[in-house]
Chain A
């Protein structure tokens, strides 16, 4: 009996060894492709030295008129929240020096194209604050009720067949759209205009607006900072292994 067991285990070892030999022999013939991760640099969108003085002017709030109608927008001070977010990110992740703008500063127009052409206004603000770079633009934040009926697939436990049914799904969407206008503080000329958009959808009809806003902002963080400083971007590529 003991001899049989020993013979059996010996056979098992031989089988494993043979399998290993086969695997080793087969190694070079595996048509291989491996996925590798690269960190690619993203150059800053603005040609800066990196230590310029920057002033954050107010942004045009595109949804200001809707505030009176939409209660959920009333809970969010978009201007203050965004300025705070931008200031914090610039201070933390760049070497730019933030200079403050007069608290009573009013934009000459609420029209974005006109704002981009208000060279005199920006030159005067640059001279007043000593900022080499001036940032402004427009902000749009919308909370959308995306609840509604959606078609869902389900397999019946009775006859195991697939059926389609309409289900009511409660969802809230948060849309955030920023247009950045960057001006030269000395000449007042617009040096860059760029737009970033983000849309987030969460379950539930009564999702928190402020939380939604910051979800949008954090997802745009890399792109926003890339205006001023170099950032990394993860990328995947295929590499042939033989």
Chain B
């Protein structure tokens, strides 16, 4: 039993160390951003995804996530630009394509009511 606890403890320490070592990586920022996003902390999530883009400007996943975070925060014009960038970088990704299609449908009706593109830019 003690042995098992020791092994488990060591594994947790190892996992913690490995994630600490990768805090500078875009992937870590995306991962953390997605955790806070799912808790509704969209500003923090957007900050994390922006950091990921700083590290890897051509990361389509980071652009997609940033677009979702911006959309959640009501910054629709910026979200549109990020969705477009994500799709440009990875045009075959099903999830990015679906997100963009759903957003486009919403954004069209949203701008139709105001007659102009609004929201955040």
Q: Please, how many angstroms separate the alpha-carbon atoms of A27 and B31 in the complex? A: 11
Considering only CB atoms and an 8 Å cut-off, how many residues of chain A contact the other chain?
A: 32
Shortest Cβ distance from B112 into A: residue: A45
**Given A13-B1, A34-B34, A240-B34, A41 contacting B64 (CB threshold 8 A):** no
Does A36 count as interface, using CB distance less than 8 angstroms? yes
Task: Tell me whether A42 is interfacial, beta carbon within 8 Å.
Answer: yes
Interface string of A37-65 (1 = CB under 8 A from B): 01011111100000000000000000000
Cα-based distance from A32 to B102 in the complex (angstroms): 20
Report if B114 contacts A (CB, 8 A). Answer: yes
Taking a contact as CB atoms closer than 8 A, the residue among B18, B37, B113 that contacts A239 in the complex is: B37
**Given the contacts A14-B3, A17-B8, A236 and B102 also touching, CB distance less than 8 Å:** yes
Interface contact A238-B99, CB-CB below 8 Å: yes
Greatest chain B CB density within 10 A among A14, A17, A25, A27 is at A17
Task: Decide: B113 and A21 in contact? CB cutoff 8 A.
Answer: no
Establish whether residues A241 and B31, one from each chain, have CB atoms under 8 Å apart when the complex forms. yes
Mark interface residues in A3-33 (1 if CB within 8 Å of B CB, else 0).
Answer: 0000000100110111011001101100011
Chain A residues closer than 8 Å to B68, beta-carbon distance: 36, 38, 237-239
Decide if A20 touches B113 in the complex (CB within 8 Å): no
List the B side residues contacting A2 at CB < 8 Å: none
Q: Which residue of A lies closest to B109 (CB)?
A: A42
Whether the pair B12, A24 counts as a contact (CB closer than 8 A) is yes
The verdict on A235 contacting chain B, using a C-beta distance below 8 Å, is yes
Chain A residues near B7: list those with CB within 8 A. Answer: 14, 17-18, 21
Instruction: Say yes or no: B11 contacts A21, CB within 8 Å.
Output: yes
Given contacts A28-B18, A42-B113, A43-B113, contact A36 B11 (CB under 8 A): no
Q: Does B117 contact A (CB under 8 A)?
A: no
Mark out the residues of chain B between 79 and 121 whose CB falls within 8 Å of any chain A CB in the assembled complex. Answer: 95-96, 98-99, 102-103, 106, 109-110, 113-114
Q: Which residues of chain A are within 8 angstroms of B34 by Cβ–Cβ distance?
A: 32, 34, 239-242
Tell me the bound Cα distance from A21 to B27 in angstroms. 22
Q: How far is the CA of A142 from the CA of B65 in the complex (A)?
A: 45
Residue of A nearest to B97 (CB): A238
Q: Which of B12, B65, B98 has the most CB of A within 10 A?
A: B65
Would A25 and B113 be within 8 Å (CB), given that A36-B37, A41-B74 are in contact?
no
A84 at the interface (CB under 8 A from B): no
Residues of B within 8 A of A (CB): 1, 3-5, 7-8, 11-12, 14-15, 18-19, 27, 30-31, 34-35, 37-38, 61-62, 64-65, 68, 71-72, 74, 95-96, 98-99, 102-103, 106, 109-110, 113-114
Q: Which chain A residues have a beta carbon within 8 Å of chain B's beta carbons?
A: 10, 13-14, 16-18, 20-21, 24-25, 27-28, 32-34, 36, 38, 40-45, 233, 235-242
